Structure 1
Amino acid sequence: MRKVRIRGIYATALTKLLLDKGFVVVQPSLVIAERFKMVPIEEEPDVVISDRQDKHGVVLIGRSEHVDEVLDAIRSELYDAIIRRAPFEIWAVYKGLVVDYGRRVIDIGSARGFLASDEEIGPDEEEVLVQIVRVDGGRPVLSRFPSLRGDFATLRPLEPGIEVSGKVLDARRAKELIELAAKILPEGMGLKWRSTSARVGDEELVRDVEELLATWEGILRRFEEASGPVKLAPGKAIVDVEFPLRAKGRLDELRSSVCPTLEGHHAFKTCGGELATSVEMAEKLLFQGMPREQVRSLFTEVLKQRMPIAGSRLGLLHVKLDGTLLKLGEAEVLRADEGLRQMLLLRTIRGRGFYDGLGVRKEPGDLALSRTGLGSMRLTTSYLAPDGTYKGTYVNINTPVEVCPGHVRYVDLEVDVCLWPDGTYKVLDEELLMEAVEEGVVSKRLAEEAMSEVDEVLKDIEEGEIGPPKPEEMRLLGLEGEGG
């Protein structure tokens, strides 16, 4: 079965999930090895799994067919996971076309990337050989100094110098490796021996380097022959997997089967700051034998101190299915129940234009009154003129809302419902959700849940539950007797 290496805040839960599906976990951390009573396997992984920068999911890197096997296993347990496949491969080598010299933008065919900040493009260069070395904000970062990784060595054809992995602790063997590289490496090239090089004979090492040199020669030949932009050598597939609230809950369950876990563990960890630290402290108390109810009571007091209440100010983080993060501004919490399941949020509009979907003019000073809450699959926003005149309501259908001390966050599921002052309403962009299902970004089950939520929204509109703000809401705005 496929071998995976897992790191990050989801490591315990995903290790449990993938072991149960028959995968082999290699190079485990000391904590994971202890929790699962593993004898560490130091083999190379087929797929590497690590945290996203914002901790709301993971990134998978590996050969496409290997990554697909892991994704199938994840989706089988986490039906609401949002899966985004990059249209490029990390470490792939491309013949790129320079499209913007000042900003160092290079077209590689499937995407446009940026040259690394410490590298340059000559004023007369139109075609360049580049390698994707990392991803920043969803865009590939490119280097003109490619490296080719083999089983035992990494060839650096444009960077002279010989190195040995720091994990090769035998000084004598390290010296032998340096001498071997000096004999077989063409002048001007560089190489770094990997840790695996210390465990095999020279014949295998020479064969590995010769294969890398042949690969490099093939890349240069294709660069001269092919019309760009084009991929010259494959890399590894890179897939972003976002875990919405329900997925985090299921991961909590998986983790709790292995070690003491507080309900909401992964959601609270993604909030960061003192809340994440408090989760760790609470789980240490569980590990030490303190009764769960007592620990939960202590942690609830922390939540009361840290989580939003009436008067708090929150950022609204709106994530698109393609991963784009939109910050919808800061809102004041007008009302929130104890469990944060029902929240009333107020924003003051500063810009001009037209409200999405509604097509109604947006003016500075307008009020946006939003109803949502922890776990809600909708954000219902009614727009009012400064004098309270009702302009319409926009209902965004999304993954269950997550609430942190400083923000609320959700993934937009594309489909929306608009309601106008004359009582007419319309469902928008259902086809975009269906396209996301076809592309594998969203599961069919999650899409069905979204459309069920749409049905509930339409029912609420018909029953008058959605529309102009209620009198008590208008009073909170200081607009008694207005609206409607």
Structure 2
Amino acid sequence: MTEPSSNVRVRGIYATALTRTLLDAGHTVVQASPPIQRRFDADLPAADHDAAVETGPDRQGVNVAGDPDAVDAIRELLVDTGIDTLAWDDPAPVGAVFDGRVTETLGSGAVVTLGETTGYLPFRAVDGRVDEGDTVRVQVTEAAAPWDDDRPLLDTGLAVEAGLATLVHGGEGVRVAGRDDAAGRELAGLTDLLSTAPPAGWGLEWAHDARDAEMATLEDALDRASQRATALEAAVDDAGDPEPVRAVASPTAGAWIWFGRESRFALDERRREVTATMPGHHRTKAGTTAASAGVDFVEALCADGLGEEFPFDVVADQFGPTRGRRSASATGSRRATGSSSARPK
């Protein structure tokens, strides 16, 4: 049985290889960056997206987020990248609402158990004070990878995203992400001409890429966001008072894909089908921001003579790993679990 195709937005260091993979599988890649548009002889419209694929922490893999059916199809596609590709369903995807219990308070926020995982609620996102044992209704605003030490970031407000349109409960008017420019102001003005409008009590924020979208695409995005907002508001109302620990609603789904050594070499091959790619491209770009910039420089400068072997000694000398050097993932963050090992699922 053929999987239904989806509109997918792709960003990050794996964008070229994954764009090739998604197009070959019958999906449509939308809102492509200028470099991707130049590399592909394909229709890459500025349409709304069903799912977004973005590079995860430490560039070790990608996050897939969006409509549940689209996320499932993309997860199944990408898990076949290589023998050492690993995949997880996200127990706390962006947009999910939980009734949780505060288990610990830290310097600037609280740890909240959500059931399968825990999240981090900054005190700035709370009206008043929360203490250990308190019950809170929270929404996930930033997901956390299973191979990273961070917890999902939480908020006590409500918002829903549907591709190019995000609705914020309690917000007012229309905002456009990105700098205040003529295109953004024009988009804000055009919103009044659309045949649909946000539900009462919800403010609208357009994504930066909405500047290039057609009116029909904007209407579709706003209509989907409005439907999700109405459904989310109804689910929260039906749930009544917070009652931990339970999931209240999840308008979207999420998945995490981790690429091992062989998988990154396989992605190198996919990228090489499209454009000049040095051996070890993705392994090197995953190292540091400086390494990523260096790869771009080398490929732009030496496109016709990159060789066929991965220059491991040169890459290791320049960008690591080196003995005694601590990896970025080991340092943790203010949302970290306090352990250098991955969070158990």
Q: Same fold (TM over 0.5)?
A: yes
SS at match of 2:73: helix
Retained in 1: the 8 A contact 2:52–2:64? Answer: yes
CA deviation after TM superposition for structure 1 residue 263, in Å: 1.1
Q: For 1:350-409, what per-residue CA distance to the aligned partner results, in whole angstroms no more than 9, with x for missing partners?
A: xxxxxxxxxxxxxxxxxxxxxxxxxxxxxxxxxxxxxxxxxxxxxxxxxxxxxxxxxxxx
Q: What TM-score results when the alignment is normalised by the length of structure 2? A: 0.74
Paired position in structure 2 for 1:72: 76
Alpha-carbon separation, structure 1, partners of 2:47 and 2:104: 42
Alpha-carbon separation, structure 2, partners of 1:91 and 1:157: 12
CA deviation after TM superposition for structure 1 residue 54, in Å: 0.5
Q: Judging changes above 3 Å, is the alpha-carbon distance between structure 1 residues 108 and 246 closer, same or farther for their aligned structure 2 residues?
A: same
Report the residue type matching 1:26 in the other structure.
V
- Which structure 1 residue ranges, 5 or more long, are not aligned? 329-410, 412-435, 440-484
Q: How many equivalent pairs are there?
A: 319
Retained in 2: the 8 A contact 1:104–1:121? Answer: no
Alpha-carbon separation, structure 1, partners of 2:316 and 2:219: 65
1:313 aligns with 2:323: yes
1:158 aligns with 2:178: no
- Correspondences of 1:334-353 after superposition (within 5 Å): none
SS at match of 1:313: coil
Report the residue type matching 1:42 in the other structure.
A
1:131 aligns with 2:139: yes
Higher relative CO (Cα under 8 Å, sequence separation at least 6) belongs to 2
SS at match of 2:125: coil
CA deviation after TM superposition for structure 1 residue 13, in Å: 1.0
Paired position in structure 2 for 1:282: 298
Paired position in structure 2 for 1:191: 203
Report the residue type matching 2:231 in the other structure.
T
Q: Judging changes above 3 Å, is the alpha-carbon distance between structure 1 residues 284 and 236 closer, same or farther for their aligned structure 2 residues?
A: same
- Which structure 2 residue ranges, 5 or more long, are not aligned? 331-336
Q: For 1:90-115, what per-residue CA distance to the aligned partner results, in whole angstroms no more than 9, with x for missing partners?
A: 21122223333565222333322121
1:246 aligns with 2:270: no
CA deviation after TM superposition for structure 1 residue 308, in Å: 7.5
Retained in 2: the 8 A contact 1:317–1:326? Answer: no
Retained in 1: the 8 A contact 2:160–2:167? Answer: yes
Q: Judging changes above 3 Å, is the alpha-carbon distance between structure 1 residues 240 and 138 closer, same or farther for their aligned structure 2 residues?
A: farther
Retained in 1: the 8 A contact 2:158–2:169? Answer: yes
- Correspondences of 1:15-54 after superposition (within 5 Å): 15-54=19-58
SS at match of 1:145: coil
Retained in 1: the 8 A contact 2:142–2:153? Answer: yes
Report the residue type matching 1:154 in the other structure.
T
Retained in 2: the 8 A contact 1:61–1:237? Answer: yes
Q: Judging changes above 3 Å, is the alpha-carbon distance between structure 1 residues 233 and 286 closer, same or farther for their aligned structure 2 residues?
A: same
State the superposition RMSD in angstroms: 4.3
Of 118, 122, 125, 1:119 maps to 125
CA deviation after TM superposition for structure 1 residue 259, in Å: 0.8
Q: Judging changes above 3 Å, is the alpha-carbon distance between structure 1 residues 164 and 198 closer, same or farther for their aligned structure 2 residues?
A: farther
Alpha-carbon separation, structure 2, partners of 1:34 and 1:201: 23
* More strand by percentage: 1
1:60 aligns with 2:68: no
Alpha-carbon separation, structure 2, partners of 1:201 and 1:318: 40
- Correspondences of 1:244-393 after superposition (within 5 Å): 244-272=260-288, 275-287=291-303, 289=304, 291-293=305-307, 302-303=314-315, 306=318, 313-315=323-325
Paired position in structure 2 for 1:234: 250
Q: Judging changes above 3 Å, is the alpha-carbon distance between structure 1 residues 242 and 325 closer, same or farther for their aligned structure 2 residues?
A: farther
Of 122, 140, 153, 1:141 maps to 153
Q: Judging changes above 3 Å, is the alpha-carbon distance between structure 1 residues 70 and 100 closer, same or farther for their aligned structure 2 residues?
A: same
Q: Judging changes above 3 Å, is the alpha-carbon distance between structure 1 residues 124 and 270 closer, same or farther for their aligned structure 2 residues?
A: closer
CA deviation after TM superposition for structure 1 residue 314, in Å: 3.9
Alpha-carbon separation, structure 2, partners of 1:208 and 1:308: 45
- Correspondences of 1:204-219 after superposition (within 5 Å): 211=227, 214-215=230-231, 217-219=233-235
SS at match of 1:109: coil
CA deviation after TM superposition for structure 1 residue 177, in Å: 4.0
Report the residue type matching 1:23 in the other structure.
H
Larger Rg: 1
CA deviation after TM superposition for structure 1 residue 47, in Å: 1.9
Task: Give the fraction of aligned pairs with identical amino acids, expressed as a percent.
Answer: 23
